[in-house]
Every structure is written in C-alpha cells, then in structure tokens.
Structure 1
Amino acid sequence: MEPAIVFRAPTSRVYAVATWVVAAVVLGAFVANGGPNEVLAYGALPVLLAVLGWTAFWRPHVRVERAGVRVVNVLSTTWAPWAAVTGTRTRWGLELLTHSGTVGAWGLPARSAIGRWVRTTRDEPVVTSLRRLDSDVAGGGEPGTAAELIEEHRTGHLQAGSTGVDRRLDMLPAGLLLVVTGLAMVTLLL
C-alpha cells in the first residue's frame, strides 16, 4: 500500500484492548475453574468477544492516499478514487459522498459531548501534505480534520479518472465472525 494519512477514533484501540483483556480474564477463569474441559465447553464465548473487539474497534480506519480514500469498516473495505468523491459530511461521523452513493466510516464516529470537551484541551495532530509522505502518518481521530483533507484533495482531482467506487467484503473478519459465532451458538445450545 502506498503511504497515507490514517485516521481512526482515539478510543477505538482502548476499547479493543479492553475487550481482549476481558476475554483473556474469562478464558483464564475457565482454565482455573474447570481446566481444559471448561475451556472446550465455553471457550468460544470469550474468543467471540476478542474477535468482535478486533473487527469492531481495532480494524476500522480511514486512509487518505495520494490516489483516493480507503475506508476500512467492520466487514468491508471501500476504495474511492478522488474523481469518485463528490463531498463529505460529518454530522454522525465521517461520510464520503460519491457518485455511487454514501460511504460511512465506522472508524471515525462523531464526538460525544465529553469527547468534544476533551478535544478542546488536546492538541490536534499536524496533517502533512499527501505529496510529501514517505510512510503512514497518524491523522488523529477527528472526522472534521479528515473531511477537510478529503475536500482539499478532491477539488483538485475532478477532471479525469475513474469514478467507480470499489466495495468489497473482507473475507478474514467476516469468516472469523461467522465461525466463532457459530461455535458460540453451539456452546450455548449444548
């Protein structure tokens, strides 16, 4: 992948690690309480929690690249070249408006009242130019900052290029969730 400015919610990684810690504690309790038999009987439930933490909180982000915007959501990834992006909205989080419809970004939700208060006391990251990137740079977790950067670049690239948006289901998170949810259902039914 080419270098990009990567945006993600600041608390998402904290939530992911918290779900993993809870899952590890529950798994440890199963080992301490009933040994391998209890882990085999109920282990799918904390594993499901860990997979949910990864797919819902660790994975989602928005990559603003030289050629366009890549939105990685819970189960899918959307690639929108600059010519396809017609605008942005930030009322409920970052949304890309494209010729093919709206693309919501799970990784950049709107701020809560507490988040807005904290933001006023925190420095905003400096967002560099896309042309000077050598590697990935953290862009922060503010949907407005991401929207400004996208608006700045989309207006300069309206002339030519593909206007098609590539949306695809990501098999790894979808498959993991499907398998682990199935195992958890079997655990609950038995």
Structure 2
Amino acid sequence: MVTARPPRVFRATGAVVLLGLSAVLAVFLLGDAVVRSGPVNAALLAPWPLLVVWGVYVAGVASDVRADATGVRVQNLLRRTWVPWGRVDRISMRWQLEFALYGGQVLSSFGGPARSRPRRLGVGGEKEHGNAEEEDGIAALHRLRAESVPDVGDAVVHGWDWPMIWTGLALGVWAVNAVIIAH
C-alpha cells in the first residue's frame, strides 16, 4: 500500500528569487509613480509592471513538476498535464526534463529538477559536502516512480491553470482601459 505524502515540488532554480526581485522593482516603480504624479496616474501605469511580475511568475514559479506516489503533474506556463506513473516509460534529461510515455509521446518540462553537477575535490582529495546523489532531482523522480504502484488504466489528463489565466486577462483588460483613458 502506498502511503499518502504531499507531492514533491521541483521548480526552476532561481525562479522565486527572480520573482521577488521583479516584485520589489514593481513596488518601487509604482511607489515612485504615486509620489511623482499621484494615485490616478499610478493606477494608469500599474498594469504594466504587474504584467511583468505576472509573466515572471507564470514562466518561473508556476512552471514546475509535482510528483507523488500516484503520478507526476507537469505545468508548462499555463498548461498542466497529469501523468500516472504507469504511463511513464522513462525519465530523462536533455535540454530539459522529459517524460517519455508509452505510445511514443514525450512530455517536456520548462521548470523542474536538473542534474547536480559533480562535486569538486576538496583539500585532501575528498569530495566536498553538498549535493549528494540522493538530493538529485532526477534521482528523486526515479525513486518516486519505483515506489509507486503502477496503474496503467489511468489516463493522461491535460488542463489549464485557470486562476492564472483569469489574472492575466484581468491585467490585460486593465492595461487596455489604461491606454484608452490616457488617450
């Protein structure tokens, strides 16, 4: 019997840091706009830096791989695909993480784990402490797949990240209205 554990989440390295930096920059720019030209003009300028922050979030943080004992969910930008482990033929890394499915399909992931680089030899010819093989993301996915109970009957499910789509549409409508009001 497979024990229920929360899914393991793999994100692109540095995505959260980039999101934080872009959010700080957006707050700074909007604060400067409020001080220099007032809250009305700042409201007309606001959708543009917010669209940039939204884009960084969608591309970096939301694009991830979540795996548990039942399968793996890959989110690329706004598209989500859930694959049960029984449908995965192999997991490999080319330019990005790829799941080869039975039937010949290949599911590539924008975000997700990467292979650890080999550790340098420290003083005395011993390996440095750090990313051990057990911390490698690809190895963790292989372990989760090996621990699962394969059920070939489940289907691959495709879907959309609707909350992020609606947020992007709202920001787009706000930006169009700001252009119309400004002209």
TM-score w.r.t. structure 1 length? 0.73
Provide the aligned C-alpha RMSD in A.
Answer: 3.0
Task: Note the 1:74-89 alignment, pairs <5 A.
Answer: 74-89=77-92
- Can you give the 5+ residue segments of structure 2 that lack an aligned partner in the other structure? 121-127
Q: 2:29 aligns with which of 4, 14, 26?
A: 26
Q: Number of matched residues?
A: 170
Q: Distance in 1 between matches of 2:53 and 2:151?
A: 43
Shift of 1:170: 1.2
User: Which one has the bigger strand percentage?
Assistant: 1
Which structure has the bigger radius of gyration? 2
Partner Cα separation in structure 2 for residue 159 and residue 47 of structure 1: 43
Identify which of structures 1 and 2 has the higher relative contact order when contacts are C-alpha pairs closer than 8 Å and 6+ apart: 1
Instruction: Select 1:171's aligned residue among 159, 162, 167.
Output: 162
Moved over 4 A (4+): 119-122, 155-159
Counterpart of 1:67 (choices 67, 70, 89) is: 70
% of aligned pairs identical? 26
2:130, 2:12 → 1: CA distance?
15
What are the within-5 Å matches in structure 2 for residues 29-178 of structure 1?
29-99=32-102, 101-108=105-112, 123-124=130-131, 127=134, 145-154=136-145, 160-178=151-169
Quick one: distance in 2 between partners of 1:26 and 1:42?
A: 9
Whether the 8 Å contact between 1:20 and 1:53 is mirrored in structure 2 is no
Instruction: Give the SS at the match of 2:112.
Output: strand
* Inter-partner Cα distance in structure 2 for 1:102 and 1:53: 26
**CA contact under 8 A between 2:97 and 2:112: conserved in structure 1?**
yes
CA deviations over 1:31-76 (Å, ceiling 9, x no partner): 1111112112211111212222222222222122011112233212
Shift of 1:153: 4.5
Q: 1:2 to 1:185 in 2, by over 3 A?
A: farther
- Which position in structure 2 is the counterpart of 1:134? none
Q: State the Cα deviation string for residues 78-118 of structure 1 (Å, max 9, x = none).
A: 1111111111231111111223622222222768xxx959x
* Match of residue 187 from structure 1: 178
